[in-house]
Structure 1
Amino acid sequence: MTDTSCIEIPEESSSEKVQQIDLLYKCISKLKEADRVLITLVLDEKPYEQIAEITGITENNLRVKIHRIKKELTEIFHKYARL
Structure 2
Amino acid sequence: MTMTKDELRIAIDRLVEAGDEKMLERFVLDNFAKLPEDAQKEMLFAFYADALEKEADSAVISTIQKEGLDALEKLEGIKIALQEKH
Give the TM-score taking structure 1 as reference length: 0.35
Give the TM-score taking structure 2 as reference length: 0.34
- State the structure with bigger RCO (CA 8 A, min sep 6), 1 or 2: 1
